[in-house]
A = this chain, B = another copy of it.
Amino acid sequence: MTDLTDTQLAELTEARSQGVTTLRPTVPALEALLFEPIPVLDHGFIRVVDYMGDDSAVVQAARVSYGRGTKAVSEDRGLIRYLMRHWHSTPFEMCEIKLHVKLPIFVARQWIRHRTANVNEYSARYSVMDREFYIPEPQHLAVQSSDNKQGRGDVLDQDTAQVVRQILMRDAHQNYSDYEFMIGPEEKCGAGLARELARMNLTLNTYTQWYWKVDLHNFLNFLRLRADAHAQYEIRAYAEIMMQILRAWAPITAEAFCDYRLGSFTLSAQMLKVLRRRMDGLPVDQASSGLSKREWQELWETLA
């Protein structure tokens, strides 16, 4: 369920039938996704609206050569992996993608902290917000983590989850009804209040939407932080869809990103010292390692 209106669906159908000819690099797998809203959370979505460049554009920029290159794909793969591994970021900046995203305001507030992107958000000064709120599924309602101050622990028991969901629904709807009253025209017994003021009564789980445009390098940066297990589940749900989009758009870059970023582990100077002793068969212990208990634990869990 993607929450597009009938008019929007009609426009979408029309757009999808209007293929024209271009000389620009084109990615069939991404064209297949174009414009279609991919559902996220209960009412959100991501739609790819436009894009520029592909894996070859990364290679081309790295080579600063004419045309699309005549080298075999295997060499392109090697070059992209080399660039990723050595943090050569500028060639990845040569690709760009534009998404239309519908998301709860509290997620938008985390998202916007990625500053190297272009944003146009739905304006609640100009327009009326919709009555749509994010209400987490019971399995995503968890207690405050006891060991990680900003994370979640166990899932709530069923009854408590039900109570929480009812509170969230009731408050969001009550506040929205009051918002509607406040902006309602006086002749219909509303208060006639300016929209830019009335909106302050809405809750942070109200859905908003925006166009978000970013280059491939900063797209990967977003994924590195938001597809991570430490990220809040709600933004991670968007990052996971973006990971799928990445695989369609630039599969070689996606693979290199998984190998050298998401699936990698960085050994600190102290960890290196410990590991070298261990490889030499020498005794190692946390107390003398210079590692915190958490780092010590993480090191051996990762290598297990």
Contact = CB atoms under 8 A, between A and B. Distances in A.
A134 interface: yes
Q: Please tell me how many copies of the chain the complex holds.
A: 4
A98 interface: yes
A297 interface: no
Contacts of A226: none
A53 to B, nearest CB: 6
A303 interface: yes
A134 B196 CA distance: 13
B269 A258 contact: yes
Interface residues of A, number: 134
A70 B22 CA distance: 23
Contacts of A264: 266-269, 271-272
A67 B15 contact: yes
A98 B259 CA distance: 29
A158 interface: no
Interface in A1-48: 4, 7-8, 11-12, 14-16, 18-26, 31, 34-35
A225 B267 CA distance: 18
Given A24-B50, A53-B50, A160 B269 contact: no
Contacts of A125: 150-151, 232
Nearest to A11: B67
A73 interface: no
Interface in A180-207: 181-183, 186, 191-197, 199-205
Nearest to A175: B171
Given A24-B51, A64-B211, 16 more contacts: A15-B23, A19-B21, A19-B22, A25-B50, A52-B98, A61-B120, A81-B292, A87-B225, A94-B118, A105-B204, A109-B112, A126-B149, A142-B193, A156-B192, A204-B204, A264-B268
Interface of A: 4, 7-8, 11-12, 14-16, 18-26, 31, 34-35, 50-53, 57, 60-62, 64, 66-68, 70, 78, 81, 85-87, 90-91, 93-94, 96, 98, 100, 104-106, 108-109, 112-113, 115-116, 118-123, 125-126, 134, 136, 140-145, 149-153, 156, 160, 163-164, 167-168, 171-172, 174-175, 178, 181-183, 186, 191-197, 199-205, 209-211, 213, 215, 224-225, 230, 232, 258-260, 263-272, 275-276, 279, 292, 295, 302-304
